[in-house]
Chains A and B, each alone.
Chain A
Amino acid sequence: GAVVSQHPSRVICKSGTSVKIECRSLDFQATTMFWYRQFPKKSLMLMATSNEGSKATYEQGVEKDKFLINHASLTLSTLTVTSAHPEDSSFYICSASRTGASSSGNTIYFGEGSWLTVV
């Protein structure tokens, strides 16, 4: 079946540094990918919609200059957390939509998620 791979699964970085998270659709092309984050005991929240070949669309309250999204190919989107701070520590997860994958319409596949800890 379709797989979305996310890397790294866990990362620890120092405050002030940047960290990049990759999201790959392994066996299908995804013109649109999505980035979510989940703080402890909170719901998953959409951060941004990543569109291949164009600028990402950010949700209200998400700083686009801090969370850089690049979707340079149909199988890869990257999220870069710039100048990370401890409050950015969270679970980040991506998803990709596969068109017509089932009789009930598009199917969304999620990556494994990335645990970011900023110290």
Chain B
Amino acid sequence: KQEVTQIPAALSVPEGENLVLNCSFTDSAIYNLQWFRQDPGKGLTSLLLIQSSQREQTSGRLNASLDKSSGRSTLYIAASQPGDSATYLCAVNYGGSQGNLIFGKGTKLSVKP
């Protein structure tokens, strides 16, 4: 069974800290992996998309890495800000249509001023 797990479920850090969110997946034969942000009561915002042939993607203060062999991905957030507070979701696409994603339960991040 293909599963996606995110650790920790919740994380609280002071402003300015660098932090890492973890995502693991049981089946390494992925097509791509995506990190999303979900604000309370809002839809999802795509942050970074990593194809199976890539090792990392960067956007601003965000860096996502992918290690298919170990079934892991990390989302690194540098110099965290209160506005980064949200739930971060990892989703894996095992092929076929792009929207068929398997999601983790997310990590709820709180950045304290």
A-side interface residues toward B, CB under 8 Å? 4, 6, 9, 32-34, 36, 41-46, 49, 93, 95-97, 102, 104-113, 115
Q: B97 contacts A112, CB within 8 Å?
A: no
B-side contacts of A104, CB under 8 Å:
32, 49-51, 54, 57
Q: B45 contacts A43, CB within 8 Å?
A: no
Among A6, A41, A97, A113, the residue within 8 A (CB) of B99 is: A97
Q: B105 contacts A113, CB within 8 Å?
A: no
**Extra pairs beyond A104-B54, A104-B57 (6, CB < 8 Å):** A44-B89, A49-B99, A93-B44, A96-B99, A104-B51, A107-B49
The reply to whether the CB of B34 lies closer than 8 angstroms to some CB of chain A is: yes
Q: How far is the CB of A4 from chain B (nearest CB, A)?
A: 8
A118 to B43, CA, bound (A): 20
Query: When A and B form their complex, what is the total count of cross-chain residue pairs whose Cβ atoms lie within 8 Å?
Result: 72
Q: How far is the CB of B2 from chain A (nearest CB, A)?
A: 12
A93 to B43, CA, bound (A): 7
A110 and B44 in contact, given A32-B97, A46-B100, A49-B100 (Cβ under 8 angstroms)? yes
Q: B44 contacts A97, CB within 8 Å?
A: no
Q: A33 contacts B99, CB within 8 Å?
A: yes
12 contacts across the A-B interface (CB closer than 8 A)? A43-B105, A43-B106, A44-B101, A44-B103, A49-B99, A95-B99, A96-B99, A104-B49, A104-B54, A105-B32, A105-B51, A115-B41
The reply to whether the CB of B75 lies closer than 8 angstroms to some CB of chain A is: no
The reply to whether the CB of B69 lies closer than 8 angstroms to some CB of chain A is: no
